Each structure stands twice: as structure tokens, then as C-alpha cells.
Amino acid sequence: MTAAVAETPVVIVGAGLAGLTVALHLADHMPVWVLAKRQLGEAATAWAQGGIVGVLGSDDSIDSHVRDTADAGAGLVDEATARFIAERSADAVTWLLDQGVPFTPDTEGPLGLHLTREGGHAVRRIAHAADATGKAIHEALLAKALAHPNIQLRERWMAVDLITSRHLKRDEPTRCYGVYALNIDAGRVETVTARAVVLATGGAGKVYRYTTNPDTATGDGVAMAWRAGCRVANMEFIQFHPTCLYHPQERSFLITEALRGEGGHLKLPNGHRFMPDHDERAELAPRDIVARAIDFEMKKHGVDHVWLDARHLGEDFLKGHFPTIHARCLQLGIDIARQMIPVVPAVHFTCGGVVTDLDGRADLPGLFAVGETGYTGLHGANRLASNSLLECVVLGRTCAARIGRDIPSPVPALPAWDESQVHNADEQVVIAHNWDELRLLMWNYVGIVRTTKRLERALHRIELLRAETLEYYANFRVTRDLLELRNLVDCAELIVRSALMRHESRGLHYSRDFPETLPVSFPTLLIPPTRRA
């Protein structure tokens, strides 16, 4: 049935930093719904350890930040986008302070904040809350949203698909009018009318077997926008964070880049510090270089992981600056003040996404995408550390301003979700099997180092998995697991097709068949069949 509201809301799909930033900037002017498919605290934002870029210090400049972003992005960063966001970084940090985010203080630092440094940055410019910045930011903004009378936070509601002009069979340029959303607890799909829909669902890390992302990262926004006819770009550039904790009891715990920024060293089992052999910046090289170096050394020496050595930093320093990492490792029997940390690369960030402008506008009027879901050209072929939280705040604010300026005409009555031809599934084994197979084949065939043959094999298997998944989708009532699998299959295909189109090695995409970097290159743009001439 169609959800009844006193006034058509803006619907934001995703309750992380990007979604909450949009919501808080809109809520004084119009009603806002925020849909979270799991618990409110499970957004990827809460998992971010490092911090947020702020060009604040007297030794820093906008030009320096833009230059570092461009260097990390390996020739594919849109400089105008990087400058736009860098120029607004100080305001973004100030806004978060105003929301009550408890950044780590330093009385001698700009804005009274302690700034740290991470790989790829020329200076200290990362505002942080110890080593749990994302959690501190998310909790502060979530508290504000929960207290706001114009924001409805809908927990355990998952968007199924966007509702567009095609659903209404209207003879008009396609636009977005709302979403079909699964109310998980009620077990039914609701029709939600919206004056604007904002996709803020994060990335697609769960398409791979090993990732630092939470279970929410199933590429929902990218897949829905693609199915609705929006372009996506640069999906081949999947960032592997160099240092995920390698432990049988903890497969997704991130060891923040700031630990290397503060002087941690990467070593082989024999104690050799290997990063200077790969790059003059050593452990402070951009993530793609560090991850590829670790992958090379692991394969060369036949080891399952390498070591991150922070013992020389001292116990007091480690407890003070990295309390979360220190405590979690200690729970697992690793005293990082006295023992090296076993680490391995894991999927961390999706650099590509739904093509948008700097107000978050996607190809369909009425549809926006912000944060990791969107693509603006900021990250190029590799994201610079701590630019992700900054992008969420800056573009979350511009997105809200644009929605506020472009109030649409009344939204027509929308058709209800039709499940008259489906029934309850009698078994879930197809979903579980296809989910596991997809993630394993992506890990083995579409990882840090790629070949054309591996990519072609991956695409063949993905096409078979797609057929099986869509047959299941067509015959049974939807569940969250089924919807996530459907979205992951779409994203996996987009990643592989993008990788096959890039005949060079650049940034996060390394191909043995095309090891050289072309002198000139462009973003990889995929156009949905519905938009092709």
C-alpha cells in the first residue's frame, strides 16, 4: 500500500554520514525520512577509524590538498571537484564540531584540534577522535537526527527499487518519484512517495570475500540507480585497504592508516622492512601502492600476511592515540606495544559509483546520490585517505541546498507493489550458495592483480548467477538477503565490465596483460541499456 504522510517527504536511503548530513540540513524546512536496512548504528561511517581532512594548519593550503588528492588519484581526479571540496573542508570540520563531535583536542592546534597525518598527505591535516572518528561522528549526528521532529528514522526498511515514470507509464522524460521499500519487520513492501530520493547507501565491499566494510555495504544505491537508467563510472577502481587485521576471530577489523602515519613499519616475517624497496615514501605511499606491495611480498614469500610493527612508538602513545586498536587487539591476544600486528589487504572503498554533479544530482530528475554511492571525480583511480568523510559532509550540504531550491511539482499517485504472482520461498539455499560463490570468484578473479582471462571467467559466472538470482526474484517474495544478492550481482558485473574496458594499469586497477600506464586516460563510463540509442 502507499505510505500516507501529511506532506511528501524527502526520502534518504542510508543512515550514515552522507545521509544524516543531508537530513539535518533539510529537516528545518521539510519532512525527511531516513531508511536504514539494519540497525541505525550499523552504517559504514561508524567503522571509519582515521578521520576527516581539514585544511586548517598554517603549513597547509588548498593547493597542497588538491595536489595530494590528484597524486593519489593517478591522473583521473577531476581537479575542479577536488578544489571545490578542499575549499570547504574547514567549514565541514567546523560544522561537525558544532554538532558536538568530540574530536581529539590540542590546545596548540588549529581550531584547538590535534591533526594527524596519513599516507599520501604532505602534512598533518586529519582531524580525528582518537582512532574511532567515524563512530564519534555517527553517534553525534544520529543523536541530532533522533531529536529532530521533522526527521523520521525508519529502522529495518530496505529500498527495493526506485519508482520512475516508467512505473506510471507516463509519456514524459524519466524522473524519480519515490521508492519501493521492504518493511522488514512487517514483511511487506511499501510504496513511498518522495519529492526527492537521496541514495546514500555506501559502497559495495561485500561483493568481495574479505572486506573492512560492514554487512550493509552491498552496493544497493549503485544497483538501483543503474537499473533505473543512470550512468555509473570508474567501478573498476576498488580500493584495498593495506592493513586489515589477520586473525581467525576477526576478519574485518581495520588497522587505521594513521598508525603508519605516526611511524608504524610494515615488515616481513624475517623482520625486513619492505616498503622502502617499493616506493620512496615507504609506509606513507598511497594505499594502492602499499596494498600492491603487500600482495607482491605475500606471493613472493608464500605467506598469508605481513606484520605491522608499532612497538617502537611506546605503550603510552599507542594507548593514547589508538585506544580502540590497542583494546581490540589485546582482546585477541595481541599486545601491540610488545608484539607486531598481523595484517593483510582487504576491500575497503568503492571509488566509482553513480555519476552526479557537485550537488549530488544523478541522471534522473528527483534522484540524488551522495557519499561512496556517488561518483564526482574526486577519487579518480585511488582515494586519498580521509577524503571520504569529507566528501560526505561537503556534498551532503550542497545536495540539501539543491533539493531546497528545486522543490518539485506535486508527485502523482504511485502504483502499489505487485506480488500477486509470487509466493514464499520454500528454501534459501540458492541465495546462500550464490552469495558465497559470487564473493569468492570476485576475490580470486577480480582482486588486486587482474588478467583479462580471469575477468572474462568472472563475467561468465556472474551472468549465470544473475540468471539464477533473477529467476528466484521473479518467483518468490523479496527478503533482505535476496535483495542484497541481486544488488551485489549487479555491482559485480559493473566492476568486471569496467575492468575489461580499461586497457592499462592505473591506480587501483592493475592488469598483467596491460602493465603500462597510458599517457592520457579518462574515466570509465557505463551507460545502461535503457539509455543507449
Query: Rounded to whole angstroms, how far apart are CA atoms 333 and 52?
Result: 30
| Given the residues 88, 287, 292, 486, the one annotated as active site | 287
Integer CA distances (angstroms), 242 to 344, 359, 378, in order: 6, 32, 21
Give the C-alpha separation, 397 to 359, whole Å: 8
Centre a 10 Å sphere on the Cβ of residue 6 and count the other Cβ atoms it contains.
6
Instruction: Provide the grid cell at 495.
Output: 566492476
* Burial (0-12, 13-18, 19+ Cβ within 10 Å), 66: buried
Per-residue buried b or exposed e for 197-216, using 16+ beta carbons within 10 Å of the residue's own CB? bbbbbbbbbbbbbbbbbbeb
What are the grid coordinates assigned to 532, written together? 543507449
Put residue 207 in one of left, alpha, beta given phi > 0 → left and psi -120 to 50 → alpha: alpha
* DSSP letters for 145-214: HHH-TTEEEEETEEEEEEEEHHHHT-SS---EEEEEEEETTTTEEEEEE-SEEEE-----GGGSSSBSS-
List CB contacts of 355: < 8 A, sequence separation 6 or more.
230, 231, 232, 233, 362, 363, 374, 375, 525
Look at residues 423, 416, 439, 417 and name the one whose alpha carbon lies nearest to residue 473: 423
Between the alpha carbon of residue 324 and those of residues 131, 212, 321, 388, the distances in Å are 6, 15, 9, 21
Residue 396, classed as helix, strand or coil, is: helix
Q: What is the dihedral of CA 181, 185, 186, 189, to 10 degrees?
A: 20
Count of beta carbons in the 10 Å neighbourhood of residue 529: 6
Tell me how far apart the alpha carbons of residues 12 and 23 are, in angstroms, rounded to a whole number.
7
C-alpha torsion angle, residues 77, 81, 83, 87 (rounded to 10): -140
The span from the CA of 179 to the CA of 37, in Å, is 14
Q: In 7-108, where do the E strands start and end? A: 10-13, 32-36, 52-53
Residue with cell 522488514: 184
State the Cα–Cα distance between residues 301 and 243, nearest whole angstrom. 18
For residues 193 and 366, give the distance between their C-alpha atoms in angstroms, rounded to a whole number. Answer: 11
Give the 3-state secondary structure percentages of the chain, helix then strand then coil, rounded to 5: 40, 20, 40
The amino acid sitting at 470 is: L
Q: Is 287 a catalytic residue?
A: yes
Diameter of the chain measured on Cα atoms: 69
Of 506, 515, 527, 512, which is closest to residue 74 (Cα–Cα)?
A: 506
For the annotated catalytic residues, the residue numbers are 287
